Amino acid sequence: MGEDLRESATRRRPHDTVIMETSMRTRTLILGLAALLAGCSVLAGDETSPVQQSAPTPTEAAPTLEAPTTPSPLADSPDMTGEGPSEIVLTVWTSEGLSPSSEAPGGQVLVEQLAAFDETHPDIRVEIYVKRSQGPGSTLAYLRTAPPVAPDVLPDVALLDQKALAQATAEELIVPIGSLLDPAIANELYPAARELGTIGEQMVGLPYALEVQHLAYRVTFFQEPPNSFEAILESPVPYVFPAAPEDSVNHTLLLQYMAAVDGNLTDEEGRPVLDADALREVLGFYADARAAEVVDPALFQITDPAETWALYRDRQANLAATTSTLYLAERDQVRNTAVTWTPTPTGDPYALVGGWSWAIVTQDPERQAAAMLLLNFLMNPVNQGTYTQASYWLPTQPAALAVWGDGDPYTGFGDLLLRNARPLPDPSLQSVIGGALQEALEAVLLNDVPPVQAATEAAQSVNPPQEEAP
């Protein structure tokens, strides 16, 4: 790895695809693909080219959301376009699913936005590289291994998922973004998005694209949305969700437990705790659902919501868990379908959100300022809203979601979920809480353990021992 990194300082980086280099000071814009891809270069063996796709025109906002009509520069953005400064080459690492690539949904929209940024910032040239999300060659892997042997290959900006953001922060591989970020942007984020980018008391990343899990159901089978435990038990329609653990616990169970305890997973000292009474209620629902034959233990063979969505899409299920990204990408393939939140004990909306955040890697103040100019531009509500709608992700700002328009039936639903969401727990906390939750569910559904017993044993395995009174 070290030798490869040294070599990459003088040639293209391994394990990535160069999608776009933007600089039009010496170029003339022409119509068509050549104009959009001015300066592009693509590595052999991983070719990409933008699709011919027009960016959606921003529409007026839904009644509860306010959408701007045109992008506008932030007044407090640093001025990097004065006469005389040398060109800054800004290196950006993205992931496969969020890039200006023909293989990525919305890739052409991002191409157009980067070209627009180039026009207004002629002294900044942006080079974008697509990195793997996990394993060797991933962004996190290079952030860890490059500094001692080839620091020049490091990016200025990187797009990280929630786990990678937490790990990069813990290992001090990135610069906390809070001190660089315009407070106006942070204040306009959904609370769950802001929490997603915050570790401890510090904002370390700028959340950009979000995903939540929810239900899809056929309206011909339900008079009311099946979003409560009671509604599921009253319906004969089987409830299909991935019951096998994703990491330490399936996210449906985790969401339902967190809804029951209002997201409280730690005590006043920050130690993991399980509420036995709340867990007993959730496990009792599953015991009743199995008895009513609306939940099948065979669901423990399913890990990914993509599998349950495929069952629904192919008409092998009529009530199934999916994700916002899956549903938005394929909603035109299903008919007589509506969406609602994952069933909760009270029927109130609740969601767990994950996603991708921009992180600053460069330590150089001038490059940090240039990086923030780019991020401010991409986070403009019109730009973020247009891109996320085209790429099937949810934006991190209400004003960006409003850009989708009230003509999109998902706009109001997505806003409702994001306003009632919490980020997925920190991986270390989730491993403790989640493992106990998953074992309790398996005990109830696979081994006929009473919910009271399973909940009590789970709480005992997690909660700190009670101090005896003197």
pLDDT at site 470: 52
Residue 64 has pLDDT above 60, yes or no: no
The answer to whether 425 touches 355, Cβ cutoff 8 Å, is no
- The predicted model gives 199-214 an average pLDDT of 97
Domains 2-188+355-419 and 211-350+426-462 alike in fold: yes
How far apart are alpha carbons 99 and 51 in whole angstroms? 12
Whether the model clears a pTM of 0.85, i.e. scores above it, the answer is: no
Domain 211-350+426-462 fold: D-Maltodextrin-Binding Protein; domain 2 (3.40.190)
Amino acid at 426: D
Dihedral angle computed from the Cα positions of residues 155, 143, 16 and 177, in that order, rounded to the nearest 10 degrees: -40
**CATH of span 2-188+355-419:** 3.40.190.10
282-300 residue pLDDT tens: 999 999 999 999 999 999 9
The answer to whether 388 touches 179, Cβ cutoff 8 Å, is no
Residue 61 has pLDDT above 50, yes or no: no
The answer to whether 129 touches 155, Cβ cutoff 8 Å, is yes
2-22 residue pLDDT tens: 444 333 333 344 445 555 554
Q: Nearest Cα to 443, choosing from 428, 430, 461, 425?
A: 461
- The predicted model gives 70-95 an average pLDDT of 63
**Lowest mean pLDDT: which of 18-32, 193-207, 259-273, 381-395?**
18-32
Residue 48 has pLDDT above 60, yes or no: no
Q: How confident is the model at residue 23 (pLDDT cuts 50, 70, 90)?
A: very low
Q: How confident is the model at residue 464 (pLDDT cuts 50, 70, 90)?
A: confident
Axis crossing angle, helix 107-120 with helix 365-378, rounded to the nearest 10: 130
How far apart are alpha carbons 93 and 142 in whole angstroms? 11
Averaged pLDDT score across all residues of the chain? 85
pLDDT at site 85: 58
- The predicted model gives 202-219 an average pLDDT of 98
pLDDT at site 50: 28
Residue 347 has pLDDT above 70, yes or no: yes
Contacts of 27 (CB under 8 A, 6+ apart): 38, 39
For the chain, what are the domain ranges? 2-188+355-419, 211-350+426-462
238 or 12, higher pLDDT: 238
Percent over 70 (pLDDT), the chain: 81
Axis crossing angle, helix 451-462 with helix 276-291, rounded to the nearest 10: 140
355-395 residue pLDDT tens: 999 999 999 999 999 999 999 999 999 999 999 999 999 99
How far apart are alpha carbons 210 and 247 in whole angstroms? 19
Percent over 90 (pLDDT), the chain: 74
Beta bridge pairs of residue 240: 320
86-109 residue pLDDT tens: 899 999 999 998 999 888 999 999
- The predicted model gives 189-199 an average pLDDT of 98
pLDDT at site 150: 87
How far apart are alpha carbons 346 and 261 in whole angstroms? 12
